[in-house]
Structure 1
Amino acid sequence: MATTNLKGNLVNIAGNEVNVGDLAPIVKVVAKDLSEIEIGGAQGKAQIIVVVPSLDTPVCAAETRRFNVEAAKVENASVTVVSMDLPFAMGRFCTTEGIENLAVGSDFRNKDFANAYGVLLADGPLAGVTARAIFILDASGKIAYKEICSEITEEPNYDAALAAIKEATVAKSCCGGSCS
């Protein structure tokens, strides 16, 4: 079982562990307007999946604001922030914070995303919500980058994630992408 930390205390993570090179599972999360958003699998463009425990915390809010700014700079990619927050709360957060360059999706109904991507906190005070993680998928739906933050209360490695986003959005053409 994978683990992370919450304020220095070990927390177990449940669900199906997915790794770089794996085809990302296709799951549906609930948008702020209660419609469904499908994430994972091949979508013909890169996908940035930002996973946070709750938008109602300072670190998650800061991370979402940062990706909202960075998302505006990324072509041929979609950005979705996934948490266990209710869709209404996610919508209120987006309105209050001016979040317009990314989608938010709630996994509150069945925890399908958290289980499929192996980011469900299994124990500790936050049991039942998601760990802090980032998944970058290429256009074919393969996981090109994965970070499960070693400390839930700390922001992810933005530099590594942004570099992976750039790599995932580069068109791979002839010769398996090795053309000169």
Structure 2
Amino acid sequence: MAKITLGGTPVETSGQLPEIGEKAPEFHLTTTDLSTQKLSDLKGHKVVLNIFPSVDTGTCAQSVREFNKKAGKMNNTKVLCISRDLPFAQARFCGAEGLEHVLMLSDFKTGDFGKAYGLEFTDGPFEGLHSRCVLVLDENGIVTYTQQVKEVGDEPNYEASLDALLGE
């Protein structure tokens, strides 16, 4: 279990993120048009998993905007923004913001993604939601970078994520 903080108060997650060099676990998440997106469908692309509690919070919304601007335009790269928000809220946010370079995905149906990746909150006011994390995967779904943000209210390290995409 990762020990992180939410507003300075310690909270725990369901496990640990996949390790660098491991194959990322397969997932089935819901898109904003209610279809299913699988990780295996993205083979051949570099993938950024921008994971957060809810797009309806300032820091989460900012991370979607930043990855849309910075990584979303990179060649052969897919940016997946993942939360347990309903797909309708995710679609509304992207439409209002004019975001076109990220794919919003929801784990609302089962929460299996959060459990498989070890990042579901197991206590505190966000229990059941996802903690703020970033993973970068290569074209074969191998983890090349991870960050579990220590304080949930803080933004992820965008530059380190982008460097991992570039292989630096």
The two structures have a TM-score, normalised by structure 1, of 0.89
- Between the aligned partners of 1:110 and 1:161, the Cα distance in structure 2 is 28
Query: What residue is the counterpart of 2:117 in the other structure?
Result: 117
Query: What residue is the counterpart of 2:35 in the other structure?
Result: 35
Query: What residue is the counterpart of 2:105 in the other structure?
Result: 105
Query: What residue is the counterpart of 1:61 in the other structure?
Result: 61
Residue type of the partner of 1:27? Answer: F
- Structure 2 unaligned runs (5+)? none
The CA deviation at 1:16 is 5.8
Query: What residue is the counterpart of 1:147 in the other structure?
Result: 147
Q: How does 1:8-47 map to 2 (within 5 A)?
A: 8-15=8-15, 17-39=17-39, 43-47=43-47
Query: What residue is the counterpart of 1:127 in the other structure?
Result: 127
How far does the alpha carbon of each residue in 1:5-25 deviate from its partner, in whole angstroms, 9 at most, with x for none? 101111100046411111101
The two structures have a TM-score, normalised by structure 2, of 0.95
- Between the aligned partners of 1:100 and 1:135, the Cα distance in structure 2 is 20
Query: What residue is the counterpart of 1:178 in the other structure?
Result: none
Matched residues, number: 168
- Structure 1 unaligned runs (5+)? 169-180
Residue type of the partner of 1:21? Answer: G
The CA deviation at 1:134 is 0.3
Question: Within the alignment, does 1:138 sit opposite 2:123 as a pair?
Answer: no
Query: What residue is the counterpart of 1:171 in the other structure?
Result: none
Residue type of the partner of 1:86? Answer: L
SS at match of 1:80: strand
1:41 and 1:140 in contact (8 A); partners too: no
- Between the aligned partners of 2:118 and 2:51, the Cα distance in structure 1 is 11
SS at match of 1:121: coil
How far does the alpha carbon of each residue in 1:95-146 deviate from its partner, in whole angstroms, 9 at most, with x for none? 0011100100000111111111111000001101000000000011110000
Give aligned-pair identity as a percent. Answer: 38
SS at match of 1:64: helix
SS at match of 1:81: strand
Which entry has the higher C-alpha Rg, 1 or 2? Answer: 1
Q: Residues 41 and 167 of structure 1: is their aligned pair in 2 closer, same or farther, counting only changes over 3 Å?
A: farther
SS at match of 1:136: strand
Residue type of the partner of 2:43? Answer: Q
Residue type of the partner of 1:83? Answer: S
1:50 and 1:82 in contact (8 A); partners too: yes
The CA deviation at 1:165 is 1.3
RMSD: 1.5
The CA deviation at 1:39 is 2.1
Q: Residues 162 and 14 of structure 1: is their aligned pair in 2 closer, same or farther, counting only changes over 3 Å?
A: same
Q: Residues 6 and 148 of structure 1: is their aligned pair in 2 closer, same or farther, counting only changes over 3 Å?
A: same
- Between the aligned partners of 1:36 and 1:24, the Cα distance in structure 2 is 18
